[in-house]
Structure 1
């Protein structure tokens, strides 16, 4: 039996690398916008160029780190909740087998870091890693699920994540519309 703690740090490393990937892209985008708006030269009077870039990278990385950490917490909770509802495993032994899937996110985060100049690739890699991890999860725990439990688990996750994404999109659209309506004509 292998030591479970050998791979226990992989989720943290994956979160850091995905956060860094998104932070690098966002930093480049913001710096381009600041230059285009003519604000960057004014900022350089107060900060060095490297100081601006490092501070912005740190703050963006921290922001994305919080988002990915929250997503991991939500994902872990929904997995355990779905196991409570649909699984015959009361000990949690099957859930321990799923932790080996942290390799999926680790490899994906390394690829995302290599492609950090392209946000669509980063998002696609994250979504693909999430899909592969979910398939891995279903495969690993399928022996403690009945056919109805398997269908219930899949639909539980699909409905939960769809509702969460739609709620966030709805909130962003409402915020955008209220912002646009408040602008003077």
Structure 2
């Protein structure tokens, strides 16, 4: 009999690898911008070159880890809420069926780490893996759903994530516009 907890550490490893990939890209971008602004040379007088890079990498890794961990927490909550609302499963057997889907994120995170120099490819891999996991989730739990329940669950997820992305985008645009408006002319 296969141990159900065999893949329980895959989400943590995936979050760490995705965070590392995005952090490496962001670190290179920030250091490049600091060089362009002429600030980096002054920073090396206070801090060593490797010290700046390691500190920046650590802070970016921490930031991206928190973002991906929060997104995973929200996604897990949405998956379980959708099962509560639409599934006939009362025992939680559907949750054990979808655990093996963490392989998708693990493979995607390794590929993302290998391609960390291309931001568009990293985003594309993350989006592709997320879409693939959603398809995997729907396939695995479809046996406990009625046709109306399946449509409702898919609509529930699409509506939630669309609203979430729209709200975050609106808040970022609003913050950016207020920042630009506050700059002296």
TM range (shorter): over 0.9
User: Given the two structures, how large is their TM-score scaled by the length of structure 1?
Assistant: 0.99
Work out the CA distance in 1 between the residues paired with 2:126 and 2:165.
15
Shift of 1:4: 1.4
Q: Aligned to 1:66, what secondary structure does the other structure show?
A: helix
1:71-110 matched pairs, under 5 angstroms: 71-110=71-110
* Aligned counterpart, 1:64: 64
CA distance in 1, matches of 2:23, 2:5: 29
Tell me, what secondary structure is at the counterpart of 1:4? coil
> What is aligned with 2:112?
112
Structure 1 CA distance, aligned partners of 2:55 and 2:5? 34
**Mind listing any 5+ residue stretches in structure 1 that lack a counterpart?**
none
Q: Which residue does the alignment assign to 1:174? A: 174
Structure 1 runs (4+) deviating above 6 angstroms are: none
Aligned-partner SS, 1:6: coil
Mapping for residues 1-185 of structure 1, pairs under 5 Å: 1-185=1-185
1:22 positional shift: 0.3
Give the C-alpha shift of residue 39 in structure 1. Answer: 0.5
Q: CA RMSD in A?
A: 0.5
Unpaired stretches in structure 2, ≥5 consecutive residues: none
CA positional deviation for 1:138: 0.2
